[in-house]
Amino acid sequence: MATELGAAAVGFSDGRSDRYDAVELLADGVLKTTRRAKFEHPEFGPGVGETQVRFYSRDAWEWVEPDTRGNGTVWVGEAEWSQDYTLNWKPLAVCVSAQGARREIRDYLHANYSQRSQVPDADALNLQPQSNRSGEPDPVINNAGKQMLVAFRWAAISDERVTKPDPEEFWR
C-alpha cells in the first residue's frame, strides 16, 4: 500500500533537501518522487517537458514535509435527542476547503432543519482540522419535527513532517 503525500520537500541522508511536485511513500519504505518540467516560452506560452520520476531507498531519505493542504472532508454527526446519545457520523463533502465546508454545512442545515436559527451561523464554526465545532452537539428540530443533536467536523490531510519507517517495525 502506498501513501500519496502530494507536493513536498524531501530531506536526504546526506543533508541536502529538495522540492518535488509529487511524493509517494511506498509500502516497503521506498520513496517515489516526481518532478514535472514546466517552462514559459516567450513566443508560444507555457510548455511542459518530460516528467522525471525517481525512487529512493529507505536509507537515502530522512523526512518528507508535504505542502500544506487546504482541502479536507467535512462530516456531520446526528442523533435523536436523549441523555444517552451516540452521534452517527457520515461524510457530508470531500475535498473541500474550510470555506467550502461552511457552504456545505449551511446548505445541509437549510435542507434538513426547519429551525436553523438554533444553530450557529456556519461562518462562525470552528473548522480547525480534527476539531469539533462546539464541543457538544447542538439540539435542533429537523424537518420531520424530531428534536435532534447535530455536530460537524472538518479534517484535512496533515502537513506534518513524515519520517521514514523504523526498519525493526517494518520487517515484523
Is pLDDT at 55 greater than 90 in this prediction? yes
With 60 as the cut, is the pLDDT of residue 88 above it?
yes
pLDDT at 166: 61
Residue 171: per-residue pLDDT: 47
pLDDT band at 41 (very low <50, low <70, confident <90, very high): confident
- Residue 117 has what DSSP assignment? G
Which is more confident, 9 or 73? Answer: 9
Which parts of 15-172 are beta strand (E)? 17-25, 31-41, 45-56, 61-66, 72-80, 88-96, 131-132, 138-141, 147-156, 162-163
Q: What is the pLDDT of residue 170?
A: 47
| Average pLDDT value for the chain | 78
pLDDT band at 131 (very low <50, low <70, confident <90, very high): very low
What is the predicted pLDDT for the residue at 164? 64
